[in-house]
Amino acid sequence: MKPLFSVSPSNGQGPQKKAIPAKPIKILSGLHLGKVRRCAKRGRAQDAAGWILGEVVIIDPTIKLAASLFGISAALVREQLQLRAKHHADGNSNGITDDVVERIVAEIGVERIWCAVDKLTSPELPLVAASS
């Protein structure tokens, strides 16, 4: 169960401190939120207020919900999900593509990269006390 994201309520004057309940009172799924338009406005308003207060947690958001929340198209969300899945399948779980690594190496220089690799991979030898 992964929350969509955490929100600190604000009235336009910066983040506000709030008491977060130990456990959410209500857990809603993204699929439920997609169908909630059929419910009464008052119930939806209560859920929205509960979400802001930390009493409602949203799990498993849908693509449509994420796109709406972030003001982008569902196609862009799908594209990013496919790119991330491809990177993870290629064993590139840190999100840095080979193109980015190549640009970094080209900008910094191969010699500096090799020096850093040598420094990181060389064993640390114990210091030998100088005999007098």
Mean pLDDT of all residues belonging to the chain? 78
Residue 1 shares a structural domain with residue 66:
yes
Q: Is residue 84 part of a domain?
A: no
Tokens representing residue 77 in the block: 């969300």
30 burial via Cβ count (<10 Å: 0-12, 13-18, 19+): middle
Whether residue 87 lies inside any domain: the answer is: no
What global pTM score does this model have?
0.48
Query: Is 62 within 8 Å of 52 (Cβ atoms)?
Result: no
| Alpha helices by DSSP H, the chain | 30-35, 41-52, 63-70, 74-89, 98-108, 110-121
Please tell me whether residues 1 and 55 are part of one structural domain: yes
132 vs 84, which has greater pLDDT? 84
Same-domain status, 6 and 59? yes
Residue 88 belongs to some domain of the structure: no
Has residue 115 been placed in a domain?
yes
> Does the residue 22 lie in any domain?
yes
Do the beta carbons of residue 18 and residue 54 sit within 8 Å?
yes
The pair of three-digit structure tokens given for residue 130, joined into one six-digit string: 């100088």
- 59 and 2 assigned to the same domain: yes
3-state secondary structure of 29: strand
Do 109 and 66 sit in the same domain of this protein? no
Residue 82 lies in a domain: no
The verdict on residue 131 lying in a domain is no
Domain residue limits at 5: 1-72
If asked whether residues 8 and 68 sit together in one domain, one would say yes
Q: For 57-109, write each residue's pLDDT tens digit.
A: 888 889 998 999 899 999 999 999 998 888 777 665 666 777 888 888 888 88
Query: What's the number of domains the chain is made of?
Result: 2
